[in-house]
Amino acid sequence: MDPQGLLCPAAALLLLMVHFGSPVCVEVPSDNQVVQGSSMKLLCISCMKREEVSADTFVEWYYKPEGGDNILIYEYSKGPLERVSPFHGRLQWDGSKDMQDVSITIHNVTLNDSGTFTCNITRELKFEIHRPSVRSSRVIHLVVTEEAGEDFTAVVSEIMMYILLVFLTFWLLVEMVYCYRKVSKNEEVSQESPTDYLAIPSENKENCSVPVEEQ
């Protein structure tokens, strides 16, 4: 059988597996810097290691200011629940339905919100005989600034743009000078030609005529 004939069915089967398969969970770190007055999503993703086993998930969010103690600010147990804290009224649950993403968002961030946030996830696996618990944590050191800091890439791009602008301006000036000199030289040559002809003696002007060949 032709190997190329097997390639298309195999590719189609692979696409079907990707399409109907469960989404891939990727644990990525959260941003840790925000400007005051804006909203900040504290990203906490904890991928389930055994998707074939169902589990009950419990989440606790703690906040620790600099030099202070941990404060329970948010928890999830059969539903989101906001605790009384300095963030009361400014927290929003942004977790996913499968409870692999258990993130929260802080609205109207202030300078006093800087500190350490800890996301504790506890999963109680539902086996037939026993229910073991699996615990994981994510730590985010949040820094709140008064103004947004300039991105290094943006600064480099701006510098390169100015350098390119200066180069193009210089190149344009050089081209203008070159064209001006070339035009001036052509005008001088065109002005010298009639003057040289008038300067030729009359007896020699007949020799300047173009001879006509007889048919």
Q: What is the per-residue pLDDT across 126-175, written as a single tens digit (0 to 9) for each? A: 877 877 888 999 999 999 998 865 555 666 777 888 788 888 898 888 88
Cβ atoms within 10 Å, residue 77: 12
* CA gap 113, 68 in Å, rounded: 12
- Which region holds residue 182: left if phi is over 0, alpha if psi is between -120 and 50, else beta? alpha
* pLDDT bucket at 206, cuts 50 / 70 / 90: low
**Burial environment of residue 139 by CB neighbours within 10 A (0 to 12, 13 to 18, 19 or more):** middle
Distance CA 8, CA 176 (A): 60
Give the per-residue pLDDT at 166: 86
Say if domain 25-145 classifies as CATH 3.40.50.920: no
* Mean confidence (pLDDT) of the chain: 79
Q: What pLDDT is stored for residue 149 in this prediction?
A: 58
Spans of all domains in the chain: 25-145, 152-198
pLDDT above 90 covers a percentage of the chain that reads 39
Q: Is the pLDDT of residue 194 over 70?
A: no
Q: Mean per-residue pLDDT for 47-62?
A: 82
* Digit-coded pLDDT (tens) for 1-37: 444 444 344 433 333 333 334 456 788 888 899 999 9
For the chain, the helix, strand and coil percentages under 3-state DSSP, each to the nearest 5: 35, 25, 40
